[in-house]
Amino acid sequence: MPLHPTLGVSPAVATPYPDSPWVVLKFGGRSVSTAENWAIIAELIRDRLAEGVRPVVVHSALVGVSNALIALLDTAVAGGDTDEKLRKIRTQHDSLAKELKIAPALLDARFAVLEQVVAGVRLVGEVSPRVHARVLSFGELAATELGAAYLKSLGLDVAWLDIREYLECQTLRDQTERARYLSARCDFSADKELQRRFATIDGIVISQGFIARNAQGETVLLGRGGSDTSAAYLAGKLEARRLEIWTDAPGFFSADPKAVPSARLIKSLHYREAQEIASAGGGILHPRSISPVRASGIPLYLKCTTHPEWEGSTISNAQDDDQPPQLKAISHRSGITLVSMESMEMWHQVGFLADAFNVFREHGLSVDLISTSESNVTVSVDVTQNVADRAAIEALAADLRKLCKVTVIPDCAAITLVGRRIRTILHELGPVLEIFQEQKVHLVTQAANDLNLTFVVSSEHAYRLVQHLHGLLVNKFEGGVFGATWEQLTGGGAPAKAAPKPWWVKKKAQLLEIGSERDAAYVYDRDSIEGAIAALKSLRAVDSVFYAMKANPNREILKLVHERGLNFECVSPGEVARVLELFPSIDRKRILFTPNFAPRAEYEHALEQGVWVTLDNLFPLRQWGKSFKGKDVFVRIDTGQGRGHHEHVRTAGAHSKFGVPLFEIDELVELVAKAGARVVGFHAHTGSGVLDTDAWLDTGKQLLKLLERFPEVRYLDVGGGLGVPEKTGQAGLDLRALDARLAEVKQGCGDRQLWLEPGRFIVAQAGVLLARVTQTKGKGDVQYVGVATGMNSLIRPALYGAYHDIVNLTRLGKPATELVTVVGPICETGDRLGSDRLLPPAKENDVLLIANAGAYGYAMGSHYNLREPAEEILI
Ligand code: LLP
């Protein structure tokens, strides 16, 4: 029977039980927490009734209630004030009851029991897993009572069930007491007895997710996210026609939309693929809920409660192995700790792995990914799932050390490519592997079932890698399995709405005037630059800020920076000359010259001018020692670890050309003495576009270690690199945390000065590139919007794959309905300012705004194709 056109599930796939009367629908906590959503749920139920099936509705506790109950128990154990916490939980239920026009007294008896149990916990000062399960079950029981009462009030025939009378868990060998009560499992094979009992119930069944009973009749929980699992168990036992899981997202996406707004909805997946994505951190479906439906081939539909009209993801057997290879998603999961075990003897030692894994068992930790070589076995321990803290890992490592050498690598993230026959697409991964060139990949595994390939890297790189991989890979595998992008569905989603409006929204009229008079222009906002400088000046640990003028050497901006009292970091004689031309009487010690592989004459000239000079190699001292006789110099140190948004901008570590490596320090001491120079400052800059504030602490610590050998050092310059968010709404650099980290460095400095030399932070957000639309084109799946300037003005997207927000300023606020690639007029395919952007349909002469372009925009512009880069205007 055809379903309601908007509320149905589609495309319909074959079900092994076409005659089953049962359809199981599960709703998550958010879905059942508002009256608007309940109105939708009621409509979905009516729709199912019209289809001629019997809905079994399973749902979670109201949003936040499970966590509130855990907090309540913690408070009770600690003997704290539980009344306030209880009142809050009650108020949440009462408010929903009122919205649903149900008398809140309905829940009086249930709350009375909860109060009693909590009072008992308070008295004994501890909570057993058994009591924990009982208290948590309250959330689902109360919420379903409200739901049932609401549906009844609409005149629907509803039967509320206590699921504990129908769902009994299994007793498993080797299960700890905690797991028995808090992470129980049920059998899910067809259950004729249950089917018979359900057949005797009249009306729509509504019951609880997450809970069940054990053989003794006590309450048990099915683990966090267990409502999905409950629904899947019921579907399996009832031999249901299908399972529908309704949440606040429409389904699986090709990547986490928070990281990749152009992530695509995956319309159809095989159970195995869904299992991989769910297990690799997919988030919206509990991994345990797949096998119960997979066992009998019951199709599973994921749908969005607030938007039932959106297409969702369908999980079934329909996509099978004879189909071509297909990449479906790039998942990532953080909170991973690696344990690397090394032993030269292990390969010929019978039982080594058994012994090692036994230690994991003894510590109650489960192993997830494994890679082995003759002398090393590295495994991942999923700390989020195991609730294993650092102490637990350290205890494990201590025991493992009795067997072999052990290294613990914390704060890792696993990035997984999920798809079908991944092995056959290895050749497509060439460019992908390039991304990993500069980053330490701690572990690589390929699943034995040919469904995934996983890389484990440091957490801080995870988001960026997912973005890159998605851009490189997903669109290559169209294959009809992808639907709308997250942006298309949500218009960009919640974070952007919450963020403060960028300056260019407020100055739209002025910008449009500028844009309408020329093809393209860089516009810089004075107020924003002043704001950034003020923020830097508020860093209490920093004595002096040098503006890295390579980011933007525009004369008007330099004047503003000078006016506000910043100093200048210059990398070429040209930059030094520009500063001296603008400010002839400037104190020369406010200029730091930091050349790299420069000719001898540049050093000599700079020394003559009296500016600070940085050496970033021993060569000048070795070969031109005489030039430095009696001079004070800075030395740039390579502290070993490069950081930054792209390999090209990571300026420390073995693969970077910058700085004196730590192993050359002895020679540096000798050469300085021999030349008769003095090292008065240390300098380090590990990379650009860094948001992790530990970076500057690490650098500072490395420099502090060298002070002992260089008593004449008076300045420590920990570099620039301060990042800014790429997308509107993303979190920026935490300046307070940065100040706290720098304060640690400053403490070790004694009376020496601590310097910073940012470029991007001062100018990036203050600058936008305006470009007029020239032409549009539709070619196959891809729509192009052409603008009057491209990589000759802004090369960052082509060079680093950098992301810049793009808006159609002429049509700001108009519905964004077209997915387009924005290109310039340069004769290169790489002349792309942004791919897969959701914009309102553009017309010739509209003005597009490319945001965050004040740093390394014009500065890196060129005359390529003899096209002038956009002109610059300061407002
Ligand atoms: N100090 C030194 C020694 C540097 O090499 C740099 C940047 C900075 C300071 C300033 O870094 P910032 O605070 O701006 O991140 N073209 C690339 C950035 C290259 C950065 C080069 N060095 C981009 O567009 O992202």
Per DSSP, the residues of 632-668 read: EEEEEEE-S---SSSGGGB--STTS--SEEGGGHHHH
- Atom 8 in ligand 1: residue holding the nearest Cα: 720
Strand order in the sheet with 242-247: 158-160, 204-208, 54-59, 22-27, 242-247, 300-304, 313-316, 268-270
Tokens coding 469:
């991989």
Q: DSSP code of 282?
A: I
- Cα(552) to ligand 1 centroid in Å equals 11
Counting from 1 in the atom list of ligand 1, the atom nearest the Cα of 649 is: 19
Residue 417: its H or E element:
strand 405-420
CA distance 425 to 678: 57
The token pair that represents 382 in the structure block = 């999923």
pLDDT of residue 336: 85
Amino acid letter, 176: T
Q: Whose CA is nearest to atom 5 of ligand 1?
A: 685
Active site residues: 827
How far does residue 802's CA lie from ligand 1's centre (Å)?
14
pLDDT, position 1: 34
486 C-alpha to ligand 1 centroid (Å): 33
Minimal-distance CA residue to ligand 1 atom 6: 720
In the reported structure, the alpha carbon of residue 807 is separated from the centroid of ligand 1 by a whole-number distance in angstroms of 26
CA 855 to chain CA mean position, Å: 24
Long-range contacts of 608-616 (CB under 8 A, 24+ apart): 609/576, 609/580, 611/570, 611/576, 612/681, 614/681, 614/683, 615/660, 616/658, 616/659, 616/660, 616/683
Q: How many angstroms separate the alpha carbon of residue 721 from the centre of ligand 1?
A: 6
Whole-number pLDDT of residue 231: 97
Q: What is the pLDDT of residue 434?
A: 67
SS3 735: helix
Nearest residue to 590 via CA among 536, 543, 550: 543
Q: How many CA atoms lie within 13 A of 709 on its CB side?
A: 15
Q: Distance, CA 639 to ligand 1 centroid (Å)?
A: 16
Q: In the chain, which residues have pLDDT < 50?
A: 1-7, 386-387, 493-498
> Could you identify the atom of ligand 1 that is nearest to the CA of residue 644?
15
At residue 175, the pLDDT reads: 75
DSSP secondary structure letter of residue 70: H
Atom of ligand 1 nearest to the CA of 859: 16
Atom of ligand 1 minimally distant from the CA of 799: 24
**E-only strand ranges, 295-391:** 300-304, 313-316, 326-342, 367-372, 376-382
Q: Estimate to the nearest angstrom the gap between the alpha carbon of 330 and the chain centroid.
A: 12
Sign for the pseudo-dihedral over CA of 515, 517, 519, 520: negative
HSE-CB for 613 with a 13 A CA cutoff:
24
Measured distance CA(162)–CA(393) in Å, rounded: 40
Beta-strand pair 871-874/847-850: unpaired
The residue contributing the CA closest to ligand 1 atom 19 is 649
Mutate to test the pocket of ligand 1, among 544, 550, 858 (most ligand atoms within 8 A of CB): 550
For the CA of 757, the closest atom of ligand 1 is 9
pLDDT of the residue at 22: 96
What pLDDT shows up at residue 173?
A: 74
- 60: nearest Cα among 222, 181, 215: 222
User: What is the structure's pLDDT at 450?
Assistant: 67
- Quote the CA–CA distance of 454 and 763 in Å, as a whole number: 38
Tell the residue nearest (CA) to atom 12 of ligand 1.
Answer: 721
Q: Residues with beta carbon inside 6 Å of ligand 1?
A: 548, 551, 569, 594, 649, 651, 685, 688-689, 719-722, 757-761, 796, 855-856, 860
Counting atoms of ligand 1 from 1, which one is nearest the CA of 760? Answer: 14
Nearest CA to ligand 1 atom 16: 856
Q: Coil, helix or strand for 222?
A: strand
First-to-last C-alpha distance (Å) of the chain: 64
Distance CA 131, CA 113 (A): 12
Among protein residues, the one whose CA lies closest to atom 23 of ligand 1: 856
Nearest to 498 by CA among 248, 730, 809, 768: 730
Mutate to test the pocket of ligand 1, among 648, 651, 692, 760 (most ligand atoms within 8 A of CB): 760
What spacing in Å lies between the alpha carbon of 217 and ligand 1's midpoint? 65
**Ligand 1 pocket test target in 638, 688, 852 with most atoms within 8 Å of CB:** 688
Residue nearest atom 9 in ligand 1 by C-alpha distance: 720
Q: Report CA(544)–ligand 1 centroid distance (Å).
A: 18
